[in-house]
Amino acid sequence: MGLLVDGRWQDRWYDTGSTGGRFERKASSFRNWITPDGSAGPSGEGGFPAEPGRYHLYVSLACPWAHRTLIFRRLKGLEAMIGVLVVHWHMGGQGWTFEEAPGATGDRLHGKRFLHEIYTTADPAYTGRVTVPALWDEKRKTIVSNESSEIIRMLNGAFDGVGATEGDYYPEALRPEIDRLNERIYATVNNGVYRAGFATTQEAYEEAVRELFASLDWLETILARQRYLAGRTITEADWRLFTTLVRFDAVYHGHFKCNLRRIADYPALQGWLRELYQRPGIADTVDFDHIKRHYYGSHTTINPTGIVPLGPDLDLTAPHGRDRP
Ligand SMILES: N[C@@H](CCC(=O)N[C@@H](CS)C(=O)NCC(=O)O)C(=O)O
C-alpha cells in the first residue's frame, strides 16, 4: 500500500495521526468526462467522445467502487465497447499489481507490472493515491477519470448514441431524491465501513459504526415499504448501495468490525440484496474469492496473519420475495 509523490512510488499506509484516528478519503484526481460528442463535461477538459473500443476500465474485483463501474458496463451492454483489465486481488507494498491469478487479466494493454505505472504513463509527475477504478483512454494515452461516481454517470448516458442498451439509472425526475440518498449512503455506508475499519482510535471507530447502523436501520424502513430506494424503479442509488452491502456480511462485519448486525438480520435489505444479485449478469460481476482474499490478506495492520475466514455461508440465490410493483 502506498502512493505516488511527483511520479515516484512510496510505500506508506494511510495517515490517521493528524485526524484523531479518523480515516479521511482524499478526492480523486482525474475528473474528465466521456460525452457523446467530446464536449467538456461537468469537470475537467473535453476531447473524450464516446467511441467503441477506445476506452478501458482498470478494476479490482474486490473493490466496491470499481464494482460500480463493472455493473454499469453490464447494465448498459457496453462489454464489447469498453475493455476491462483486472488487477491481482492482493494490494501490497507496490499497491495494485498485474501479477497472474485466477480472475485477474494482467495488463493486456500495456504489459505493465504495477497499476502505478499506468498512472505515471498518464502523468509522469502524478502525486496521489493509485486507485481503482481508472478509466483509460487508449487514444490519448491518459486516464479520463478515476472517480467511480462520475464514471457510472458517463456509462449511463454517453454511449446511448453508439448502441448502448436502453435504460437510464439517473432519470431527470428522480435526481433530487437520488442525490439525497447518495449523500447519506456515501458518507455513512459506502465510506462508513472504511471509516470504521481504518479508524485507529476507539472513538473514531464507534462514531463510524453508530452512524453506519443508524443508516442501515433507515434503509431497512425505506425498503420495507417500497421496492427500490427511490420508489418503483431501480436507480443508480440502488447500485451504489449494492456493491457495499454485497460485501457486508463477508468482510465488513468481521474484518472492519461492523458487527452490530448482519445484512442477513434485516429482512428488507436482505431481500433487496438478493433481488439485485439475481438480476441478469450481476452475479458474474461479484467475485467473493477476490473480495475476501483482498481485504483479509492486504490490510496487514488490521489482520496481520492474513488468514481468510472460511465463512459465512451466504445464500444470495435463495428466493428474494420482492416480486411486487
Ligand atoms: N473515490 C474513489 C475511491 C476509489 C478507491 O479508494 N479504491 C480503492 C480500492 S477499494 C483503492 O484503489 N485504494 C488504493 C489506495 O487507497 O491506495 C472512487 O469512488 O472511485
Looking at ligand 1, which residue's alpha carbon is closest to its atom 17?
129
Please spell the DSSP secondary structure of 226-249, one letter per residue. Answer: SSBTTBSS--HHHHHHHHHHHHII
Give distance in angstroms: CA of 148 to centre of ligand 1.
9
| 74 vs 65: CA distance, rounded Å | 15
pLDDT tens digit string along 19-75?
A: 888 988 888 899 999 999 999 999 999 999 999 999 999 999 999 999 999 999 999
Give distance in angstroms: CA of 304 to centre of ligand 1.
21
Q: Report whether 127 contacts 5 (CB < 8 A).
A: yes
Grid cell for residue 127: 502525486
Q: Report whether 219 contacts 229 (CB < 8 A).
A: yes
Asked if this assembly's ipTM is beyond 0.90, the reply is yes
Q: Report whether 316 contacts 274 (CB < 8 A).
A: yes
Q: Where residue 1 falls among pLDDT bands split at 50, 70, 90?
A: confident
pLDDT at 25: 82
For the CA of 60, the closest atom of ligand 1 is: 9
Among 58, 63, 119, 296, which one carries the catalytic annotation?
Answer: 63
Grid cell for residue 72: 454499469
Give distance in angstroms: CA of 321 to centre of ligand 1.
34
Q: Is 9 annotated as a binding residue?
A: no
Please spell the DSSP secondary structure of 111-178, one letter per residue. Answer: --SBHHHHHHHH-TT--EE--S-EEEETTTTEEEE--HHHHHHHHHHTTGGGTPPS--SS-GGGHHHH
Query: What is the value of pTM for the model shown?
Result: 0.97
| 311 vs 249: CA distance, rounded Å | 9
Q: Where are the beta strands (DSSP E) in the chain?
A: 2-5, 8-11, 55-59, 82-86, 91-92, 95-96, 128-129, 134-137, 142-145
**CATH fold for domain 172-279:** Glutathione S-transferase Yfyf (Class Pi); Chain A, domain 2 (1.20.1050)
Cα 16 to its chain centre, rounded Å, is 22
Grid cell for residue 180: 439525497
pLDDT at 41: 97
Cα 218 to its chain centre, rounded Å, is 22
Q: Shortest CA distance to 152 belongs to which of 236, 54, 229, 87?
A: 236
Q: Report whether 56 contacts 28 (CB < 8 A).
A: no
Q: Is 131 annotated as a binding residue?
A: yes
Which residues in the chain are classed under CATH 3.40.30.10?
2-162
Which residues in the chain are classed under CATH 1.20.1050.10?
172-279
Ligand 1 pocket test: pick from 61, 65, 90, 251 the residue with the most ligand atoms within 8 Å of its Cβ: 65
| Candidate CATH numbers 3.40.50.300, 3.40.30.10, 2.60.130.10, 3.40.50.10580; the one for domain 2-162 | 3.40.30.10
| 7 vs 119: CA distance, rounded Å | 8
Looking at residue 31, what DSSP letter applies? B
Q: Where residue 12 falls among pLDDT bands split at 50, 70, 90?
A: confident
135 φψ region: left (φ > 0), alpha (ψ -120 to 50), beta (else) = beta
| 323 vs 325: CA distance, rounded Å | 7
Average pLDDT over residues 143-161: 98
